[in-house]
Amino acid sequence: MDNGLVIWLTGLAGSGKSTVSRALYNTIRSQYCQVIYLDGDELRDILGHYGYDKQGRIEVSLKRSKFANFLSKQGMIVIVSAISMFKEVYAYNRATLPNYFEVYIQCDMQELIKRDQKGLYSKALRGLEKNVVGIDIAFDEPNPHLVIHNTIPNCLDEKAHCIVDNVRHLLPKIS
């Protein structure tokens, strides 16, 4: 395989990107050893990039994309989970990542507000938090290769296998 693969999971905070990504990682890792998972928050810590306004989010997403590209060019299967819901990021990824597959983890806003593990939505709706994508930062709806509806977070293994079935043609053949 000349290039690896980048599977990019995008969606709003609380949509289940990280949960689905970890399940996907475990599913792919059972057959391939060259798999890496880049979590949005963890990578922010590594890069030391904490700008949460729209431009800061775009900048960190482009850095994340460059890092994923670097790894995939070494034959790695790279799974990325990040909000990154901006047309600049979608266009950059499609133009620069040779084997790129985008997955939108879609979840209704009412469910996101109900989940609200970090308190982002409730604080933003009360004006106590700024730079929350979907509340005071508009996002660009993606045109992904695959949409996973995650308003009802069930059948995690099915979601991971659905993604694998859709990227199978991009995965290296196992001999």
Catalytic positions: 84
Residue burial 86-103, b: 16+ Cβ < 10 Å; e: rest: bebbbebbeeebebbbbb
Q: Six-digit token pair at 69? A: 């590209």
Supply the DSSP symbol for 75: T
Q: Six-digit token pair at 78? A: 């790279």
Instruction: Name the residue type at position 95.
Output: A
Report the distance separating Cα 88 and Cα 140, nearest Å.
9
DSSP alpha helix (H) spans, the chain: 17-29, 40-47, 54-72, 87-96, 109-115, 120-125, 156-167
